[in-house]
């Protein structure tokens, strides 16, 4: 700006502010020839001169006040050229040469010449206007010069339908006032005398300021005063004429009216610019608000899903076994509920979250916004990592549960076997210690001693026969300990008691034998027959006890082969029964022979065999028990055989269905892969085809449900393997989830392509050309390509690439540096290269219009120009303006606009 302080210390001016702009050079000759009718003779009309003085003075002051000054007398205050130069700087927004400091006439003439030269540089022909006349205060020349400035800077650039200057301004007035009764604008003098045209212009643009229907054509003074007062109060248009000046003049001054009307034009033209700027800002803010809403939804959904995963993983990682089969089976049922009920919705949520994320990123790219970066720990990759951790924790959990159930089943079987054998052994040992401690040999006869010795030998034989059972009991207890049986303490206590008692029996047996053998020398009579009976009866009795024990022994099998092996062993046992029966008959015959000899020799027997407690009744009783247990064992084995046959049927049934569903899922995955890279029809056709394909997949779900039902029957039957198929339910479930996720992602990719096409105005032919080019260079047909193939693709589309430019493009299409470029990234790039979007610079320019050309904006201005919610949105996010020209409450709209698009856009 001109240094007016240095040139004339009497003027105190503020900083310059750009006004209407200088505009193009343009020739002034076209309209100066027409407007040269400001002929000096007409200015001699006192009424017109008064109107021009008042109008031109008000017009000049409306601009000079921006520099903090004004004029009082138009032909006096421009004489030194200083305020004239200042006026030109304000209305043009350009700097003029530095004015001269002196106050002499030559200095004033030089300053005025600088102003006139500047006017001439804008293509204006100054007819008969010289600096000396302005310096001398020639009113006629001064008014002519100001009119020339008004024409050039306020009227010349007005254009409506290729007209300019006066005709353009007149046409604008005619169009704006056409709907109003009693208004007929044909010129810039008589047409404005009744004031209705002024009021119509205001009402057309600001209807809330004027009650037009209440105005009367026969009251021009009231009409004019109303228009002038409203314009000054609400439109910042200074009052340039008095109503009486116009009404009391037969023909108002045309130049005064044109000057006044041009101020209305510029006031409302500025409002139109502000409205356009506000509309642009509103559109940008609406996009930003929608994107922020989508970001908040993503953050919330991601947090919920991550929280569910974090709650679930510890449950799946808890491998602490329970004590009973029932508790472990409940955990298995809980796990089934998790797989069938709880996890599938979360799989859908995870897939939907990825789709939402991709859609959001597409919208951000289409609106030229920076990519969305979720808060720490909520990236899609973070969710995928957590999901992998979940599946890792889930992996093996079901197998662990089944193994634990199998282990507990084995433990229960062993524990019951231990109790049975321990009970049998404890029953056998009952009273044995007392018997071994009895000192009956001290008063016995020789025959009694012989009998006692033989009886003791029989007992030793019996004792040795029980050694195997004691070892079995100890072995079972040891196995229960190794398998971590929950009741091992009681088992060990009972086992230890049996072993201690067994050791005691051994010691007592040895002591009694020594005592009997010591006495044997004195006792010689032995009843050989009874002894033979006792010796043969004892092992046979033990054999029957073992047979009964084996026939009642519990068994557990998992395959048809195992039960058939038990049936075969049982059949082999039954084949030995005839020999056993003959042994029984032989033993009973010995007893009968002893009775026959005693009877024939008149020997009175004491009744029972002194060498054994195993009587013929006991042998017959146990033999009968064996005979009863054999068919029961037959029944149990056949029942188990039926169960295993049923299990085999379940295996084959599951395998038959799994061998259909598994390959079907694999085939569909391969077909989707082919569809995603093919180019058949429009994107809408492809989308429709994919959705039909998706429905066909969803319609296949009952086959999966049937397989789940068959799998549940297999698990309920505790079937742990299946040799008829390589597919497990786990494989099928994972494949199904991948199939649903893949088709959903493929549909989303096409939807995003449609979104990109429509937002960027890409034609179907362009989209097909993009797809054909991409498929040609997608050598592996995977839907993505490496950087070398992508470079070849760009070159084929006409790009001339250096390394720096290619690296820039790669940073756009592959921001994560994965080394791969997807089709979506490719069309995003091509659409950005071929279409235009709102930019940060455009938004900054729009805010500048609303701010009245200031470098900052206030909350009041935002609330006045924007809808309430968007105004408050801006106010809450704009930082205070820190520039040197900051005013109280100033807000920084530049940094806010930059943030909307990211640093890279400016």
Write out pLDDT tens, residues 876-899: 999 999 888 888 889 999 998 888
In DSSP notation, 497-563 reads HHHHHHHHHHHHHHHHHHHHHHHHTT-----HHHHHHHHHHHHHHHHHHHHHHHHH-----SSHHHH
Residue 310: CB atoms within 10 Å: 12
| Measured distance CA(214)–CA(56) in Å, rounded | 31
CATH architecture under which domain 46-272 falls: Orthogonal Bundle (1.10)
Biggest CA-to-CA distance, the chain: 188
Q: Give the tens place of pLDDT for each residue, 735-764.
A: 999 999 998 988 888 888 888 888 777 777
> Within 13 Å of residue 809, how many CA atoms lie on the same side as its CB?
25
Check whether 526 has a pLDDT greater than 70: no
Number of H helices, E strands in the chain: 35, 4
Helix (H, G, I), strand (E, B) or coil at 161: coil
Per-residue exposure over 759-773, b if at least 16 CB sit within 10 Å of its own CB, e if not: bbebeeebbeebbeb
**Which residues have a Cβ under 8 Å from the Cβ of 752 and sit 6 or more positions away?**
358, 359, 362, 824
| Measured distance CA(878)–CA(153) in Å, rounded | 35
| Measured distance CA(414)–CA(479) in Å, rounded | 8
pLDDT, average across residues 417-430: 86
| Measured distance CA(699)–CA(686) in Å, rounded | 20
Residues of the chain with CATH 1.10.238.10: 765-821, 839-905
pLDDT confidence tier of residue 443, bands split at 50, 70 and 90? low
Check whether 127 has a pLDDT greater than 80: no
CA distances (Å), origin 499, targets 57, 470, 485, 495: 129, 7, 20, 6
| Measured distance CA(305)–CA(383) in Å, rounded | 8
- Phi/psi zone of residue 311: left (φ > 0), alpha (ψ -120 to 50 degrees), beta? alpha
Q: Give, in degrees to the nearest 5, the angle at Cα 389 between 386 and 390.
A: 90
pLDDT confidence tier of residue 811, bands split at 50, 70 and 90? confident
> Residue 45 has what pLDDT?
60
What is the DSSP secondary structure assignment for residue 506, as one 8-state letter? H
Q: Quick check: 403 and 735 in contact, CB under 8 A?
A: no
Helix (H, G, I), strand (E, B) or coil at 881: coil
**Which residues have a Cβ under 8 Å from the Cβ of 427 and sit 6 or more positions away?**
none
| Measured distance CA(746)–CA(741) in Å, rounded | 9
> Residue 14 has what pLDDT?
28
Residue with tokens 């009052």: 239
CB-based burial label for 45 (10 Å; 0-12, 13-18, 19+): middle
Q: Quick check: 374 and 294 in contact, CB under 8 A?
A: no
Q: Quick check: 288 and 366 in contact, CB under 8 A?
A: no
CATH of 839-905, one of 3.40.50.1370, 3.40.50.720, 3.30.420.40, 1.10.238.10: 1.10.238.10
Q: Where is mean pLDDT largest: 441-455, 693-707, 783-797, 837-851? A: 693-707
CA distances (Å), origin 164, targets 157, 188, 205, 269, 289: 7, 15, 22, 15, 43
> Residue 344 has what pLDDT?
93
Check whether 25 has a pLDDT greater than 60: no
**Which residues have a Cβ under 8 Å from the Cβ of 51 and sit 6 or more positions away?**
241, 245, 246, 249, 252, 253, 256
Per-residue exposure over 150-179, b if at least 16 CB sit within 10 Å of its own CB, e if not: bbbbbbbbbebeeebbbbbbbbbbbebbee
Q: Quick check: 90 and 118 in contact, CB under 8 A?
A: no
Which of 658 and 29 is assigned the larger pLDDT? Answer: 658
First vs last C-alpha separation in the chain: 29
Query: Which backbone phi and psi does 369 adopt, to 5 degrees?
Result: -100, 160
pLDDT confidence tier of residue 679, bands split at 50, 70 and 90? low
Check whether 874 has a pLDDT greater than 50: yes
What is the DSSP secondary structure assignment for residue 37, as one 8-state letter? T
Helix (H, G, I), strand (E, B) or coil at 451: helix
- Token couple for 404: 């634990």
| Measured distance CA(803)–CA(285) in Å, rounded | 37
- pTM beyond 0.75: the answer is no
> Residue 21 has what pLDDT?
35
CATH class name, domain 765-821: mainly alpha
In DSSP notation, 824-839 reads HHHHHHHHHHHS----
The helix (run of H) or strand (run of E) holding residue 246 is: helix 243-247
Q: Quick check: 175 and 268 in contact, CB under 8 A?
A: no
| Measured distance CA(233)–CA(236) in Å, rounded | 6
Query: Which backbone phi and psi does 785 adopt, to 5 degrees?
Result: -140, 160
Classify the C-alpha dihedral 161-164-168-169 as positive or negative: positive
Residue with tokens 């642009």: 280
Classify the C-alpha dihedral 401-406-409-410 as positive or negative: negative
pLDDT, average across residues 14-34: 34
Residues of the chain with CATH 1.20.58.60: 282-412, 432-644
| Measured distance CA(894)–CA(780) in Å, rounded | 47
Check whether 194 has a pLDDT greater than 90: yes
**Which residues have a Cβ under 8 Å from the Cβ of 467 and sit 6 or more positions away?**
none
pLDDT confidence tier of residue 445, bands split at 50, 70 and 90? low
- Token couple for 302: 């991601």
Helix (H, G, I), strand (E, B) or coil at 603: coil
In DSSP notation, 667-686 reads HHHHHHHHHHH---S-HHHH
Residue with tokens 């022994």: 553
What is the overall mean pLDDT for the chain? 82
CB-based burial label for 263 (10 Å; 0-12, 13-18, 19+): buried
pLDDT, average across residues 508-520: 76
- The radius of gyration computed from the CA coordinates of the chain, to the nearest angstrom, equals 56
Mode of pairing for the β-strands spanning 857-858 and 890-891: antiparallel
Which of 197 and 513 is assigned the larger pLDDT? Answer: 197
Check whether 637 has a pLDDT greater than 60: yes
- Token couple for 737: 């989830």
Check whether 385 has a pLDDT greater than 80: yes
CA distances (Å), origin 274, targets 160, 331, 349, 529: 19, 69, 45, 133
% of the chain exceeding 90 in pLDDT = 20
Which of 95 and 276 is assigned the larger pLDDT? Answer: 95
In DSSP notation, 764-810 reads HHHHHHHHHHHHHH-TT-SSEEEHHHHHHHHHHTT----HHHHHHHH
Q: Quick check: 552 and 629 in contact, CB under 8 A?
A: yes
Q: Where is mean pLDDT largest: 33-37, 207-211, 838-842? A: 207-211
Q: Tell me, which fold does domain 282-412 have in CATH?
A: Methane Monooxygenase Hydroxylase; Chain G, domain 1 (1.20.58)
CATH architecture under which domain 432-644 falls: Up-down Bundle (1.20)
Q: Give the tens place of pLDDT for each residue, 305-339.
A: 999 999 998 988 888 877 777 888 888 888 888 88
**Which residues have a Cβ under 8 Å from the Cβ of 480 and sit 6 or more positions away?**
411, 414, 415, 418, 488, 491
CATH of 650-748, one of 3.90.320, 1.20.58, 3.40.720, 1.10.3470: 1.20.58
Q: Quick check: 378 and 524 in contact, CB under 8 A?
A: no
Instruction: Of 256, 260, 209, 203, give the one whose Cα is nearest residue 230.
Output: 209
């Amino acid at each position: 700006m001109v240094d007016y302080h240095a040139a004339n210390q009497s003027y105190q001016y503020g900083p310059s502010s750009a006004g209407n702009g200088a505009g193009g050079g343009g020739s002034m000759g076209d309209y100066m020839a027409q407007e040269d009718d400001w002929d000096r003779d007409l200015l001699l009309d006192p009424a017109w001169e008064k109107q021009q003085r008042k109008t031109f003075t008000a017009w000049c002051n409306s601009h000079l006040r921006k520099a903090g000054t004004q004029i009082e007398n138009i032909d006096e205050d421009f004489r030194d050229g200083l305020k004239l130069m200042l006026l030109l700087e304000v209305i043009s927004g350009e700097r003029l040469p530095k004015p001269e400091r002196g106050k002499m006439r030559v200095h004033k003439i030089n300053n005025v010449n600088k102003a006139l030269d500047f006017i001439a540089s804008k293509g204006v022909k100054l007819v008969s206007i010289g600096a000396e006349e302005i310096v001398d205060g020639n009113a006629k020349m001064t008014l002519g010069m100001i009119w020339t400035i008004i024409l050039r800077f306020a009227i010349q650039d007005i254009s409506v339908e290729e007209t300019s200057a006066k005709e353009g301004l007149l046409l604008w007035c005619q169009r704006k006032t056409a709907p109003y009764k009693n208004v007929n604008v044909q010129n810039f003098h008589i047409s404005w005398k009744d004031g209705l045209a002024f009021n119509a212009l205001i009402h057309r643009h600001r209807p809330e300021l004027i009650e037009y229907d209440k105005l009367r054509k026969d009251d021009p003074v009231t009409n004019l005063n109303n228009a002038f007062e409203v314009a000054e109060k609400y439109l910042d248009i200074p009052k340039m004429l008095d109503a009486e000046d116009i009404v009391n003049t037969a023909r108002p001054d045309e130049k005064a009216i044109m000057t006044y009307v041009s101020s209305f034009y510029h006031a409302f033209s500025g409002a139109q610019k502000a409205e356009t700027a506000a509309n642009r800002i509103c559109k940008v803010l609406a996009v930003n608000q929608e994107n922020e809403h989508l970001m908040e939804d993503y953050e919330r959904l991601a947090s919920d899903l991550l929280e569910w995963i974090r709650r679930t993983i510890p449950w799946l990682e808890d491998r602490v076994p329970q004590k009973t089969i029932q508790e472990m089976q409940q955990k298995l049922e809980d796990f089934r509920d998790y797989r069938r009920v709880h996890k599938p919705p979360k799989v859908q949520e995870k897939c939907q979250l990825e789709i939402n994320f991709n859609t959001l990123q597409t919208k951000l790219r289409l609106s030229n916004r920076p990519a969305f970066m979720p808060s720490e720990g909520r990236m899609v990759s973070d969710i995928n990592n957590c999901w992998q951790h979940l599946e890792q924790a889930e992996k093996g959990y079901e197998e662990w549960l089944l193994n634990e159930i199998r282990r507990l089943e084995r433990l229960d079987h062993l524990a019951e076997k231990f109790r049975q054998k321990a009970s049998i052994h404890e029953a056998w040992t009952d009273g044995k210690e007392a018997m071994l401690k009895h000192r009956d040999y001290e008063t016995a006869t020789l025959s009694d001693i012989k009998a006692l010795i033989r009886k003791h030998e029989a007992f030793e034989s019996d004792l040795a026969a029980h050694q195997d059972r004691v070892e079995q009991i100890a072995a079972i207890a040891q196995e229960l300990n190794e398998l971590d049986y929950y009741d091992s303490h009681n088992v060990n206590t009972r086992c230890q008691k049996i072993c201690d008692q067994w050791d005691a029996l051994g010691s007592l047996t040895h002591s009694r034998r020594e005592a009997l053998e010591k006495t044997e020398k004195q006792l010689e009579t032995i009843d050989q027959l009874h002894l033979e009976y006792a010796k043969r009866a004892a092992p046979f009795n033990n054999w029957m006890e073992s047979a009964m024990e084996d026939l009642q022994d519990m068994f557990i099998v998992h395959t048809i082969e195992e039960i058939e092996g038990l049936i075969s062993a049982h059949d082999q046992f039954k084949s030995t029964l005839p020999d056993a029966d003959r042994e029984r008959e032989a033993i009973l015959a010995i007893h009968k022979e002893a009775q026959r000899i005693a009877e024939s020799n008149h020997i009175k027997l004491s009744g029972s065999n002194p060498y054994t407690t195993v009587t013929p009744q006991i042998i017959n009783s146990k033999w009968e028990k064996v005979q009863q247990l054999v068919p029961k064992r037959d029944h149990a084995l056949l029942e188990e055989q039926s169960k295993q046959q049923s299990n085999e049927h379940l295996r084959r049934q599951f395998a038959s269905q799994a061998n259909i569903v598994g390959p079907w899922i694999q085939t569909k995955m391969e077909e989707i892969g082919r569809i995603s890279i093919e180019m058949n029809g429009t994107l809408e056709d492809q989308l429709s085809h994919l959705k039909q394909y998706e429905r066909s997949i969803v319609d296949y779900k009952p086959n999966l449900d049937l397989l789940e039902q068959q799998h549940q029957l297999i698990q309920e039957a505790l079937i742990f393997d299946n040799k008829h198929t390589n597919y497990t339910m786990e494989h099928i479930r994972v494949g199904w989830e991948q199939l649903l996720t893949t088709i959903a992602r493929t549909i989303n990719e096409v939807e995003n392509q449609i979104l990109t096409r429509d937002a960027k105005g890409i034609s179907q032919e362009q989209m097909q050309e993009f797809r054909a080019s991409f498929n040609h260079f997608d050598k592996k047909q995977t839907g993505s390509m490496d950087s070398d193939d992508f470079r070849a693709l760009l070159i084929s589309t006409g790009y001339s690439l250096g390394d720096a430019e290619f690296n820039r493009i790669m940073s756009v299409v592959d921001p994560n540096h994965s080394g791969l470029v997807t089709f979506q990234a490719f069309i995003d790039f091509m659409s950005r290269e071929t279409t235009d979007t709102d930019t940060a610079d455009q938004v900054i320019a729009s805010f500048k219009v609303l701010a009245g050309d200031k470098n900052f904006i206030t909350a009041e201005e935002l609330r006045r120009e924007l809808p309430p919610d968007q105004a408050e949105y801006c106010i809450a996010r704009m930082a205070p303006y820190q520039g040197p020209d900051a005013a109280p409450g100033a807000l920084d709209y530049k940094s806010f606009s930059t943030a909307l698009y990211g640093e890279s856009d400016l």
